[in-house]
Structure 1
Amino acid sequence: MTAQQDAEAVSFATEFLKKIIRIRGVKIDRKTFLSQEFKRTGVSEQKISEAILETPIEAGIEPKILDELAAELIAFETKKSASMSFASGLPGGFGMVAAIPADITQYYVHAFRVMQKLAYLYGWKEFLNDLDNVDDQTLGLLASFLGTMMGVAGAANSLTTFAKNIARPALQKHISKKALTKTVWYGPVKQTLKLVGVKITKDSFAKGVTKAVPLVGGVVSGGLTYVSLKKQANRLQMHLRKNPPPSRDAEKYLQAFSELDKLDEVNLESDESATRSLAGRTLNAGNSALNVATKGILAASTGIGTIASKVWQGKKAD
């Protein structure tokens, strides 16, 4: 691609993403989301309030609960996205945003929903506020999350850099915002935007082709959406677990998940040991039963042989 084509792809993706986040239902209210999810799992009101004010880990909510909720919300959003994608893959499906096929639009809708939910669950503060006036920093952060999901080179590192060097220090003091192009993490952001711009163009053409056969078009749309979004959401979750959010106690966060992972390893080893032990006991029991059965058969055979011999001897005497 030429420099001009790169610039056009970045510009197109920027405007597209700005329109996506303005769609009703895309923005997740952090306070409402955390409150509803934690109440459902039996977390106390005090801990919920602390989680909203600070972070779930700082509030003392077990990391295992966060992982379980993350798995549930990923399953919910991906299934919902896939079913909508199937419907919009049929002729006359949902509407369009900036002349983009509806299933591509709703794919990014759910990508933004799942990234916000995962981020808030693992301790990030709300980052979608003024939807009508998205600043460079917010756009860059969204692109970094999206790039991490899509596996764009450097995106995950840029997200970590933002949390460590920009958002976390901002908790202690006010830091003036720089233009996006002047930030150290603009490189991966630009790559993400370029990828999104090119991908939308190519996917739009491909979607038009698959719609030539209605049922096939629907199946392809739904299937690809489910597989790709689920994989990308899982990738983001793994990144968030291993990299602290912009909070005051990063060490506590890392320690909490480290202890959970160690416990899981111990439980896994214990389960494997129990499985081997059960298999051994089952094998021994089977061998014992086989030995008993074999002895019974041999005894029966011996008895039958003795009787047959006596009968034969009796016939000879006659």
Structure 2
Amino acid sequence: MTEEQEIANPGSNFSQVLDAAAKLPGVRIDRTAYLRAALKRYCTEEQIEKAIADSPAAAGIPLKAITEIANTSITYETSKVTGLSALAGIPGGLAVVGTVPVDLAQYMGHLLRIAQKLAYIYSWPDLFDDGAEEIDEATESMLVLFVGVMFGVQIAQGGVAKVANMIAANVARKLPQRALTQGVIYPIVKKVAGYLGVAMTKKLFASGVAKAIPVVGALFSGGLTLGTFLPMSKRLQKHLASLELTKPGHRAESTEIIDAEVIN
């Protein structure tokens, strides 16, 4: 893809990077396994099963425990991305990435890992369909919004809040498909993807990330990571923690608005 094409189609360019990263081994987080492992120090078996079946909020898990788990996950993922990339050098990686630079896909892969962990501990439903190799449109849209929040895109915060309200209002166990792919949230997704396509490839990586990681399997710069990955993860954590969806014992009224075209 030429530079002119990248600028003309920034949203498509970002989606290509995101899709490539999502296909890398180790990027997708098993929600059930993660919640079971993360909650075992803090909860009874009954609470854990409730959290998996419904959500940590529905299980009444205290926010203090949720915060500690989130912080532990951020520390763990930051440590991984600061050291030797766990995704580097895996056979087949280049074939999966295709035309997307491997270092860029790897960095995005780490962003997607922490985004999933934070989403699950803050009571979001499973983002990926079991066994599906390709990510569906709704999942891709939701990941775009999460990464947008990490990059400080204000409209992405509004988009995430609206989706959270839809999920909470229906006690839903899946993402609102229509709203994310053709409804009220979709225009927000397109704008966020367009911004990220420019900001990520033209600013962040052009200004140093690609140069800091010149070969596959190289060490990620500790200073670079602390300057980008850690604060971005904290930014998403703060936003997710502020949503009603994550409040302990949260029970929403059964109002069918999952795919509504208008939401306050």
TM-score range (shorter-chain normalised) is: 0.7 to 0.9
Q: Distance in 1 between matches of 2:173 and 2:68?
A: 34
The gaps in structure 2 that reach 5 residues or longer are: 253-264
Residue correspondences, number: 241
Distance change in 2, residues 1:102/1:205 (3 Å): farther
Distance change in 2, residues 1:164/1:144 (3 Å): same
Q: Distance in 1 between matches of 2:112 and 2:153?
A: 16
Task: Identify the structure with the greater helix proportion.
Answer: 1
Alignment correspondent of 2:140: 139
Is contact 1:16-1:98 (8 Å) kept? Answer: no
Alignment correspondent of 2:39: 38
Distance change in 2, residues 1:238/1:104 (3 Å): same
Alignment correspondent of 2:226: 226
Q: Which amino acid aligns with 1:109?
A: G
Alignment correspondent of 1:237: 237
The gaps in structure 1 that reach 5 residues or longer are: 253-318
In the TM superposition, what is the alpha-carbon distance from 1:104 to its structure 2 partner? 2.3
Question: Which stretch has the larger CA shift, 134-143 or 186-195?
Answer: 186-195
- TM-score where L is the length of structure 1: 0.64
Q: Distance in 2 between matches of 1:120 and 1:185?
A: 21
Superposed, which structure 2 residues align to 1:1-318 within 5 Å? 7-39=8-40, 41-84=41-84, 96=94, 97-129=97-129, 131-165=132-166, 167-171=167-171, 177-178=177-178, 182-198=182-198, 199-202=200-203, 203-204=205-206, 206-207=208-209, 209-210=211-212, 221-245=221-245, 250=250
Distance change in 2, residues 1:135/1:219 (3 Å): closer
- TM-score where L is the length of structure 2: 0.76
Question: Which stretch has the larger CA shift, 110-119 or 92-101?
Answer: 92-101
Distance change in 2, residues 1:237/1:37 (3 Å): same
Is contact 2:10-2:194 (8 Å) kept? Answer: yes
Q: Which amino acid aligns with 2:231?
A: K
Q: What does the per-residue CA deviation read over 1:230-262, in whole Å, with 9 as the maximum and x for residues that have no partner?
A: 10111111111110238996479xxxxxxxxxx
In the TM superposition, what is the alpha-carbon distance from 1:176 to its structure 2 partner? 8.1
> Which structure's CA Rg is the greater one?
1
